[in-house]
Amino acid sequence: MVNKTRFTKKDLDRSEKAFLRELSAIFPDLSFHRGPSASPDAQATARLGYRGRDLGVLSVSAAPGKTLSPAIAEALPALAHSLIEKLAWRRALTLDWESGLHNKDYFLAALQKRIAPPPAGPLSLRLEEKEDESLVLALVELRRGFTAHSRLLARALGALPGLVRLARLSPNRLGLLVSHSLAATRASLAAILQAQAGSEPGNLAAMALASYPEDLRREASQAFNPAPGLSLLEKAETALFFANGQNGASLIAFGDLLSRHGRVTQVLPQERILVNLGRVMGAQAGARFTIKGEDGRHKGEAVIFETAPGYSLAHLVGGAPDRRVAPGDRLELAGQDLDAGPRARQAREREPEALAELLAALRAALAADKPFLFALARLDDLEKVLSLAGEREADSKIALFEESLERRFQRPPRHRAPWDLGTLALLWTAPEPGLEEELAQFLKSAEGPGQVSMALVWGPSPVLTFEKIALRAQNALLEASMTGHEVAVSFGPQTLNIVGDRLFGAGDIAGAIAEYREGLLLDPGHQNLLNSLGVCHGRLGDQKAALAAFEDVIRQNPDDLMANFNKGCSYLWNGQLEEAEKALQKAASLAPDRPEVLHQLGKTALELGHVPTALEALGRAAAGKNRRGEVFSLLGQAKLLAGDRNGAKSAFKQAVKIHPDDAQSLSALGALYREEGKDDSMALSLFRRSVELDPSNSLYRQRLGRLLYDMGQFQDAERHLKSALDYASFNGSSAEGLDALAAELEKSPEYLEEEG
């Protein structure tokens, strides 16, 4: 459950402008002032407090010569309290529970707000470092967990020039956004890394960098790639994977990967190799590498001709017979053959005139606003055919499709041309009615070619330009590959929904929004698109736009499950818990057994203190098939609030059984054992394990420290209680415990021996 007790006067000081702005929006004719005491011209005052903490005085006054309404003066204390609650929730939802750093969701929202679609520009292979100002995303990971030492590291990182955001992304990982040049940020982090390695050699950190726009520019240069690039976070995580593989402290930038970390993973027939450089690392067709063995001797060159997310296929070029390429050989980036991609090579070597004629006819049809059908016919499982049989087999199979198309249709496409390996471009400039159904039947029929699917793009269309037609055909091929084999798929709103979902999954939320909006131009009421658009706005923190999208769906279909569920989650993100609970209850009534709905409803009700609702929802979620450890952890908390100690104990036990590393449930279970007073050794074991899993959690440290104190292990107790204070304890109990410890330690023989 989110900790609400840590909101203090300092937090209100930081949020004062937002606090007063909230009040001024409600009462535009009044002036408000907050301070340690009432202002001289105050006409009404209210004492501000939160969970027993005094936060000062709120003063309100009307315009000169006017008096304050008694109703406003009477309502002022309740209004002040509700706004304090709102600010406390806003802070709780943006900060990590224990560390006080920004949390992962808030960090990602800040990242997405700063990233626009990557700018078009000349292709860069990162052979040289650029000094341009950029946004740098850095990941810092300690290899032995988020220990006390990481607080010192976080302080050093917090002083970086140009720091925008510092967040805790996981127990042992920090994330940074820095508005500075990549080279300068890299130098600063290298200095911190060197100091960190020297101060605690056994707890070395790995660091990774990715920069915007440079690391997203490469995708923009690929004309037929539907995604402008994977998210900056994914690129940094890719670099971190390699940094973690190094011995000792290490720092690797995403731009290093292509030029310094390529390896041959497999040698294939027909002078081809498989390499570990995929699209995620920025590889693309035409990238040229020199190959070197472990001894550094030159073995030849390789040129990539086919890329996948995590690997690429490359042709071997040259090389000596006595120096055979082998798995593990190193790749060094040598340059880029811009015309060496498969499409460019085929267009040059096979029927270049046919391709030029097809594109000219397509441009003319668009300019004249005449009907047309542009299609791409592609072999199913093309990558498998290429890896097993090679390019010639792919070409022969697509040639058989072309021949069977000519035989079957009285009016075959007027223009045909090779488009890519295993892919044929087709253009009907005056398509007949029913052609889509006929093509679908042809692909499935006995006289059809077999193992071929088609993407159909019909024109004219309000969302198509000449530059976009090929891209949208590729999108439809993606939909076809998800539908099955030997299918014909027409580009439309559902295609754009699928493309947007892929971009969203890759972290490119801005790109996903653009796809969803284009789909809504084709079908303004498309419920999947509206739902997806709302989710994106919610992820970016624009809850107003998210709610508007969900409401559009609900107006069309009040019983749409996902719209009601997403609406509830959006309210939850905005801190409007009562509204969130209402929307989630509606979703739960539509799907009484959906575990994710019941989970969120129970969690929200628990935050509101609506224990009966939380117990019912979490109990149903726990009884389902897809049971999650977090559900039982929340159920244990709800049962504790309901006074059911035995039920809470059973729930926490189940949570730990499902997820043995659930530190919160381990600590809560230990507290219950200690409360029973029967088995302090079990409680001690559970407390120690929870602290091992999350060393920075103040509550877990306090529980362990107090038990050690009661057991007479004063020095261990002192260490953990001091750590609890270092990690911003919930209350003064740790300090009080330390005062008691000081008195005990002064009498302790162990203490006196150490002092001597």
Q: Which residues touch 511 (CB under 8 Å, ≥6 apart)?
A: 117, 227, 228, 500, 503
Q: Which residue has the higher pLDDT, 242 or 218?
A: 242
Average pLDDT over residues 224-247: 66
Q: In whole angstroms, how far apart are CA 26 and each of 32, 35, 74, 80?
A: 11, 20, 15, 12
Least confident of 104-108, 245-249, 352-356, 452-456: 245-249
Instruction: Fill in the DSSP letter of residue 338.
Output: T
Rounded Cα–Cα distance for residues 212 and 179 (Å): 10
Structural contact between residues 183 and 226, judged by C-beta atoms closer than 8 angstroms: no
Average pLDDT over residues 105-122: 62
What is residue 374's predicted lDDT score, i.e. its pLDDT? Answer: 93
Other beta carbons within 10 angstroms of residue 364's beta carbon come to 12
What is residue 448's predicted lDDT score, i.e. its pLDDT? Answer: 55
Give burial (CB, 10 Å; 0-12/13-18/19+) of 570.
Answer: buried
DSSP assignment of 28-70: TT-EEEEESS--TT-SEEEEEEETTEEEEEEEEE-STT----H
| Nearest residue to 429 via CA among 493, 366, 504 | 366
Residue with tokens 């960090």: 107
Rounded Cα–Cα distance for residues 280 and 706 (Å): 49
Residue 724 structure tokens: 């609890």
Residue 487 has pLDDT above 90, yes or no: no
pLDDT band for 666, please (50, 70, 90 cuts). Answer: very high
Helical spans, DSSP H, in 95-203 = 104-114, 149-158, 182-199
Residue 599 structure tokens: 């989970």
> What is 261-340's CATH topology?
Thrombin, subunit H (2.40.10)
Ramachandran area for residue 337 (φ above 0: left; ψ -120 to 50: alpha; else beta): beta
Rounded Cα–Cα distance for residues 454 and 490 (Å): 8
Identify the H or E element spanning 163: strand 163-170
Any idea where the domains of the chain sit in the sequence?
A: 9-94, 104-256, 261-340, 344-491, 580-755
Residue 251 has pLDDT above 50, yes or no: yes
Residue 582 structure tokens: 């209402």
Least confident of 447-456, 466-475, 584-593: 447-456
Rounded Cα–Cα distance for residues 655 and 23 (Å): 43
Query: Residues for the chain: how many in total?
Result: 756
Identify the H or E element spanning 167: strand 163-170
Residue 2 has pLDDT above 60, yes or no: no
Rounded Cα–Cα distance for residues 509 and 135 (Å): 17
Rounded Cα–Cα distance for residues 62 and 67 (Å): 6
Rounded Cα–Cα distance for residues 214 and 629 (Å): 41
Q: What angle do CA 749, 750, 754 make, to 5 degrees?
A: 115
Q: For the domain 580-755, what is the CATH code?
A: 1.25.40.10
Least confident of 163-167, 386-390, 481-485: 386-390
Share of the chain above pLDDT 90, in %: 10
What is residue 120's predicted lDDT score, i.e. its pLDDT? Answer: 43
Rounded Cα–Cα distance for residues 514 and 537 (Å): 12
Strands 423-428 and 330-336: unpaired
Instruction: Fill in the DSSP letter of residue 116.
Output: P
Considering only CA atoms, give the Rg of the chain. Answer: 32
Average pLDDT over residues 61-69: 80
Average pLDDT over residues 284-308: 82
| Nearest residue to 567 via CA among 595, 594, 601, 602 | 601
Rounded Cα–Cα distance for residues 500 and 519 (Å): 9
Rounded Cα–Cα distance for residues 56 and 74 (Å): 18
Residue 36 has pLDDT above 90, yes or no: no
Q: What angle do CA 648, 649, 653 make, to 5 degrees?
A: 115
Structural contact between residues 278 and 297, judged by C-beta atoms closer than 8 angstroms: no
Task: Examine domains 104-256 and 344-491 and report if their fold is the same.
Answer: yes
pLDDT band for 141, please (50, 70, 90 cuts). Answer: confident
End-to-end CA distance of the chain: give it in Å, rounded: 46
pLDDT band for 11, please (50, 70, 90 cuts). Answer: low
| Secondary-structure class of domain 104-256 per CATH | alpha beta
Strand ranges, E, within 380-430: 415-420, 423-428
What amino acid is encoded at 98 in this protein?
Answer: E
Structural contact between residues 334 and 289, judged by C-beta atoms closer than 8 angstroms: yes
What is residue 16's predicted lDDT score, i.e. its pLDDT? Answer: 67
Residue 365 has pLDDT above 80, yes or no: yes
What is residue 55's predicted lDDT score, i.e. its pLDDT? Answer: 79
Identify the H or E element spanning 442: helix 435-444
What amino acid is encoded at 12 in this protein?
Answer: L
Residue 191 has pLDDT above 90, yes or no: no
Residue 221 has pLDDT above 50, yes or no: no
The helix/strand/coil state of 303 is: strand
Share of the chain above pLDDT 70, in %: 78
pLDDT band for 373, please (50, 70, 90 cuts). Answer: very high
Rounded Cα–Cα distance for residues 142 and 149 (Å): 9
What is residue 41's predicted lDDT score, i.e. its pLDDT? Answer: 81
Q: In whole angstroms, how far apart are CA 25 and each of 29, 195, 401?
A: 9, 49, 67
| Nearest residue to 529 via CA among 518, 538, 540, 539 | 518
Sheet (strand 173-181) strand order:
163-170, 173-181, 133-142, 205-212, 250-253
Least confident of 33-47, 161-175, 570-584, 733-747: 733-747
Rounded Cα–Cα distance for residues 631 and 655 (Å): 8
> What is 344-491's CATH topology?
Alpha-Beta Plaits (3.30.70)
> Cα dihedral sign for 130, 131, 136, 141?
positive
What is residue 601's predicted lDDT score, i.e. its pLDDT? Answer: 92
Rounded Cα–Cα distance for residues 433 and 431 (Å): 7
Average pLDDT over residues 579-584: 90
Identify the H or E element spanning 83: helix 70-94
Dmax (CA) for the chain in angstroms is 104
Average pLDDT over residues 447-470: 82
506-556 pLDDT per residue, tens: 566 777 888 899 899 999 989 999 998 998 887 777 888 888 999 999 999
Ramachandran area for residue 486 (φ above 0: left; ψ -120 to 50: alpha; else beta): left
Q: Which residue has the higher pLDDT, 230 or 716?
A: 716
What is residue 320's predicted lDDT score, i.e. its pLDDT? Answer: 56
What is residue 748's predicted lDDT score, i.e. its pLDDT? Answer: 45
Average pLDDT over residues 233-249: 79
